[in-house]
Amino acid sequence: MVLGRIAERGRIDDLLASARAGRRGALLITGEAGIGKTALLDYAATAAADLRVLRGAGMESGVELPWAGLRLLLCPYLDRLGALPGPQAAALRTAFGLDEGTVGDRFLIGAATLSLLSELSGDGPLVCLIDDTQWFDRASLDALLFANRRLHADPIAMIFAAGSGDGDAPPRQAGPPDSALVPFAAPVPGLEVLRLAALDEESATSLLDAHARGLAGPLRERVLAESRGNPLAVIELATALNALQGNGRPAPPLPAAGQVQDAFQAQIAGLPAATRLLLLIAAADDTGSLQVILRVGTLLGVSAADLEPAVRARLVGLSAGGSVIFRHPLIRAAAYQVAPHARRVQVHEAFARVLDGEYDADRRAWHLAAAAPGPDEEVAAELERAARRAGRRGGVTAMMSAFERAAQLSTDETRRAWRLIAAARAAYDAGLPDHATELADQAAGLPDRTASPVDRALGPPTHSAEPTDQALRLPDRNAEPADPSPVPADRPARPFRDPSVVAEAAWIRAQVEYERASPAVAAALALDGATSIAATDPERAGSILTEAVRYARDAGDHDLVRQCTALLETVEPGAPVAAGLIGFRHLYDGRPAAGVPPMRELAEATRQGKAGGFVERLIAGFAGILVAEDEIATEVLESLVADVREQGAVGRLAYALEPLAIVQLLRGRFMDADAGVTEAVSLAADIGQDLQVVAMNAIAAWLAAVGGDEIACRSLAAGVLEHRTKHPTDAALASWALGLLHLAGGRFEDAAARLDEVCGGPARHDFLIRAVPDHVEAAVRAGLPEQAARHLPALSEWAEQTGRPHAIALARRCAALLADEDTAAGRFTSVLELHERDPRRYDEARTRLAYGEWLHRHHHLTEAKDQLTGALAGFERLGARTWASRARAELSALGDRPSARALDPLARLTPQELQVVRLAAAGMSNREIATRLFLSPCTVGHHLCKAYPKLGVTRRVELARLVSHG
């Protein structure tokens, strides 16, 4: 029964009405313990009686079990997994322990959850109710929140209830550290928050009358005053006072609403000893299985009959499925905490004896850990195996918790160090950077009190060549020691300085710093780590250095690029990726003659399938861009993006879309670039890749500048420039965008100043070298010829070394702008001939505009009109509205009144509509498109419905012709 709460019930009714109308919505209900969150969920379940309702709840003991909450929520519908895309279905079955295998990308479970919920909503509106969300395992909640953010046009309502921290999080009894718990202190994207306040006086009085009508006088007033409108406090305190009043005892001071647990402890203390023990057993493993509870009880001398007093006292109940259910989580916490420590240990030991088999192995490991009085290598090994199982199933938070607890229980310092490293790696992958750093520091600073030959035989772990792998393989604990001789007892302790541990710790800290603070600091940390193992583990050192060079590049730190590549040259001589990165160093040093060939070879080799890893292919794509092999780079990166989509590697997609959007931008494929940026920003924001959002927004700012959206360009650029000290390459791209705005708008001095910073900055030898033509044009039009020629030699040398006509055309356009009246026309003509050899519509239109303006200034009016008309047509076709306006104004000055060219129908679409339309035109079904874009089929259908009127089509078959023409 819900008393009062009229506004809150109205909000739930609105949410359910939206679901019935085919719209999704989500709500987070928060408040102190006992404030009525569960009662509102009950109200929602009753109000949604005509809908399909999925209901789940967080459990403290389930926090360390990967996907425990999601499995319980979706268990009744596992027969629908066959409707999911293959990789998603396989991942979900593996995550739930139904199949052997490895999940891989943990975000794939979120995509699978999205697909399954969408599939279920196809039968009619769906409601998901999740109670005690603060105890929901993090992996499960992340999957549900991901699905919620990606559902746009599905009839699904989600309501989460979570404690505010006031009395909802009693001291933990067993399990992982608090870092594994889901925080709700900050706003959660996609969730409206409903904070429950105290009941009004009338509702509190009605509730008291319903539960303790006989309570009168001062006691009644005390309950109403001291419960402070907390429903649970009203009920429990009234019950407690009724009992005391019946015994003729004076009433003690009442606990505050946030301390209702004291009242529960008092109730439990009054039960028979056997009943208290059974409650302790149920509380110690709150999966609630009566069968397991009674098996443990039998070992400890209690039976089912001993549970009856607790049932009569309404502390627990029995479900139809044979589970013991605590009426409130605080009762379970009270039952555990009121027991002596020795009794708790007995119970956990009994659980460890009763639980067996693969399904219960993780629970058994945690019970053993809870019972361990101190370090215990056998228990640590059990937890390590649980961590590995969690890792294979994609449960990185559970993996972190198990490895961390295993480290605490380790008796061997080497194993302890590697377990901490593995925990740190999992913490980083789980999005817990502070905890990852803390664990890595612990691992690197452990004291080594043994340093025995056994430790040396165990050695460092064998690592994958892929530096982004989630799981870290640890040493084989069964390895035979090379020399079993004991270590002298008087051997002094010394700091633990295993180079491999130190390297891994530095590498994890580097990844955290890159995401959170500074790529320069990250590169320096990674370099230090790689240096420590360059002689002993060159393969791993090479993997770390590969990423370190990328960090140094993003920082624009030439010295760090040199140091990282110099070491890379010694550990991986001759490797294609290493050679390409060394070429990058030469490019950064202004020596394109030495840098271009190895980078081109890397890009070409990757196109031919000779470099297989994600990072290697990403680097090869960037290499192609940096040496003007744009077609090769496009092919490499489109193939990479397609494979990422096929694998369902959600966490990697935004990183692959970034260089693809850059090369599309440089080739003048603005609509494609915009579609990729929009998708990447949405996806990266949904999974917490904040740094990638910044990088993609820099590209978006450039596209907005060309597209004529000055407000968006300035807003996006300002957001990126806030990070200029940490990420100068992204900031330089945003500055280029602002320079373009000034240039296209005729503010030439402002444009020259802004672009001079870009072209002379730390990223000047990156792809931003292609900003030099804009700087030259701005400086020439501003009457600054000496400044205009400042950066041209670097562009000319780079372009000539690439040998690509489109790159050479950029440099020669600059030379034409700087040429005298006698030679300029011939130079412009030669540039247009280069454009014909290697068509780039945007670059050609820019050349025609510059040439047309020159012809106009020199009174060649007929030729000027021809060039300006060609430029305008090119800009309008591309949707480059900023430049089209400038070309139209120049034609108007010539007395021409050009009519507006018909807009490309595809340009009327939003970026996501464009993606959907193109895939539909290629013959994909809504379900196939949804799989590719990590959306729901309903959302795909919604985008198509919006796109058809814009395109002037009524049938799907008409799309192929339209897209092909566009």
pLDDT score at 325 = 87
Q: Which amino acid is at 965?
A: H
pLDDT score at 175 = 41
Closest by CA position to 656, among listed 86, 105, 12 = 105
Q: How far is CA 640 from CA 110, 624, 770, 812, in A?
A: 21, 14, 25, 34
Predicted confidence band at 84 (pLDDT cuts at 50, 70, 90)?
very high
Per DSSP, helices labelled H in 104-247 are 107-121, 138-150, 201-211, 217-227, 231-246
Reported as a single tens digit per residue, the pLDDT across 279-309 is 999 998 867 789 999 999 999 999 999 999 9
d(CA 954, CA 365): 60
Q: Are 483 and 403 in contact (CB under 8 A)?
A: no
Which residues share a beta bridge with 318? 324
Number of residues written out for the chain: 966
Extract the tokens encoding 901: 């060219």
**Residue whose pair of structure tokens reads 């990638």 in the numeric block:** 692
3-state secondary structure of 736: helix
- Residue 26, φ and ψ in degrees, nearest 5: -150, 150
Predicted confidence band at 482 (pLDDT cuts at 50, 70, 90)?
very low
281: alpha, beta or left? (left if phi > 0; alpha if psi -120 to 50): alpha
pLDDT score at 53 = 96
Q: How far is CA 795 from CA 506, 561, 837, 841, in A?
A: 37, 21, 20, 20
d(CA 409, CA 280): 24
Which residues share a beta bridge with 160? 28, 130
Extract the tokens encoding 735: 């500055």
Reported as a single tens digit per residue, the pLDDT across 783-810 is 998 899 999 999 999 999 999 999 999 9
Which residues share a beta bridge with 195? 30
Higher pLDDT, 896 or 483: 896
Q: What is the sign, positive or negative, of the torsion defined by CA atoms of 637, 640, 641, 642? A: positive
Predicted confidence band at 476 (pLDDT cuts at 50, 70, 90)?
very low
pLDDT score at 965 = 55
pLDDT score at 897 = 80
Average pLDDT over residues 96-100: 86
Q: What is the sign, positive or negative, of the torsion defined by CA atoms of 480, 481, 485, 488? A: negative
Mean confidence (pLDDT) of the chain: 85
Extract the tokens encoding 142: 């992340």
d(CA 886, CA 745): 7
- Residue 95, φ and ψ in degrees, nearest 5: -60, -35
From the number of C-beta atoms within 10 Å of its C-beta (0-12, 13-18, 19+), residue 445 rates as middle
Q: Are 943 and 912 in contact (CB under 8 A)?
A: yes
Which residues share a beta bridge with 29? 161, 194
Extract the tokens encoding 248: 């003729």
Q: Specify the DSSP class assigned to residue 323.
A: B
Percent of the chain with pLDDT over 70: 87
Q: What angle do CA 47, 49, 52 make, to 5 degrees?
A: 120
pLDDT score at 332 = 86
On the CB side of 680, CA atoms within 13 Å amount to 30
Lowest mean pLDDT across 90-104, 339-353, 576-590: 90-104
Closest by CA position to 65, among listed 131, 130, 135, 137 = 137
- Residue 115, φ and ψ in degrees, nearest 5: -65, -40
d(CA 540, CA 537): 6
Q: Are 334 and 265 in contact (CB under 8 A)?
A: yes
Average pLDDT over residues 528-538: 94
**Residue whose pair of structure tokens reads 């028979």 in the numeric block:** 272
- 316-318 and 324-326 beta bridge pairing: antiparallel
Reported as a single tens digit per residue, the pLDDT across 417-453 is 999 999 999 999 888 898 999 999 999 986 543 333 2
pLDDT score at 212 = 72
pLDDT score at 226 = 72
d(CA 799, CA 812): 9
3-state secondary structure of 289: strand
Reported as a single tens digit per residue, the pLDDT across 164-214 is 754 444 433 444 444 444 445 556 777 889 998 888 888 888 888 777 766
Q: Specify the DSSP class assigned to residue 879.
A: T
Predicted confidence band at 253 (pLDDT cuts at 50, 70, 90)?
low
837: alpha, beta or left? (left if phi > 0; alpha if psi -120 to 50): alpha
Q: Are 149 and 107 in contact (CB under 8 A)?
A: no
Q: Are 475 and 459 in contact (CB under 8 A)?
A: yes
3-state secondary structure of 603: helix
Please report, in angstroms and rounded to a whole number, the separation of the first and last CA atoms in the chain.
Answer: 60
Which residues share a beta bridge with 157? 25, 127
**Residue whose pair of structure tokens reads 């509102």 in the numeric block:** 40
Which residues share a beta bridge with 162? 30
pTM of the model: 0.84
Percent of the chain with pLDDT over 90: 57
Higher pLDDT, 866 or 136: 866
d(CA 335, CA 206): 30
Predicted confidence band at 726 (pLDDT cuts at 50, 70, 90)?
confident
Residues 75-81: contacts with CB under 8 Å, at least 24 apart: 77/116, 77/120, 80/116, 80/119, 80/120, 81/116
d(CA 428, CA 436): 5
d(CA 745, CA 732): 20
**433-444 vs 499-516: helix axis angle to the nearest 10?**
160
Q: Is the pLDDT of residue 714 over 70?
A: yes
Contacts of 856 (CB under 8 A, 6+ apart): 864, 868, 890, 893, 894
Per DSSP, helices labelled H in 254-412 are 260-269, 273-284, 290-299, 308-312, 329-337, 341-354, 361-371, 377-392, 396-409
Q: Is the pLDDT of residue 8 over 90?
A: yes
3-state secondary structure of 159: strand
Reported as a single tens digit per residue, the pLDDT across 902-939 is 667 888 888 888 889 989 988 899 999 998 888 899 99
d(CA 804, CA 788): 23
Q: Is the pLDDT of residue 900 over 70?
A: no
Which residues share a beta bridge with 388? none
d(CA 708, CA 520): 34
d(CA 616, CA 546): 9
Best-predicted range by mean pLDDT (632-636, 741-745, 901-905, 958-962): 632-636
**138-150 vs 107-121: helix axis angle to the nearest 10?**
60
Predicted confidence band at 231 (pLDDT cuts at 50, 70, 90)?
confident
Three-state SS letters, 655-721: HHHHHHHHHHHHCCCHHHHHHHHHHHHHHHHHCCCHHHHHHHHHHHHHHHHHHCCHHHHHHHHHHHH
H or E element that contains 868: helix 861-878
**Residue whose pair of structure tokens reads 């009880």 in the numeric block:** 297
Closest by CA position to 116, among listed 136, 96, 131, 137 = 96
Average pLDDT over residues 512-523: 88
Reported as a single tens digit per residue, the pLDDT across 586-615 is 998 999 999 999 999 999 999 998 767 899
d(CA 506, CA 504): 5
Reported as a single tens digit per residue, the pLDDT across 38-74 is 999 999 999 999 999 999 988 766 666 788 889 989 9
Q: What is the sign, positive or negative, of the torsion defined by CA atoms of 114, 119, 124, 130? A: negative
